[in-house]
Amino acid sequence: MTSPDTPSRPLLDPKNDFVFKKLFAGAPDLLMALINAVRTGEPLMVSIEVLNPNITPADITGKYIVLDILAKDARADATTSKCRCADTPPTARAAPTIWRLR
pLDDT for res 71: 85
> Which tens digit of pLDDT belongs to each residue from 19-36?
888 888 889 999 899 888
Helices 17-25/28-38 angle, 10° precision = 110
The pLDDT confidence band at residue 7, using thresholds 50, 70 and 90, is low
| In-domain check, residue 33 | yes
- Between 41 and 4, the more confident residue is 41
pLDDT for res 89: 45
Kindly provide the b/e burial profile for residues 36-46, where b requires at least 16 CB atoms within 10 angstroms of the residue's own CB.
beeeeeeeebe
Distance CA 76, CA 64 (A): 30
| In-domain check, residue 6 | no
The pLDDT confidence band at residue 102, using thresholds 50, 70 and 90, is very low
- Residue 21, number of CB atoms within 10 A of its CB: 24
Cβ neighbourhood burial of 97 (10 Å; 0-12, 13-18, 19+): middle
| In-domain check, residue 8 | no
SS3 94: strand
Total domain count, the chain: 1
Q: What is the pTM of this model?
A: 0.66
Question: Could you list the residue range(s) of the whole structural domain that residue 43 is in?
Answer: 17-100
Whether residue 68 is predicted with pLDDT greater than 60 in this model: the reply is yes
Q: Give me the phi and psi of 38, to 5 degrees please.
A: -95, -15
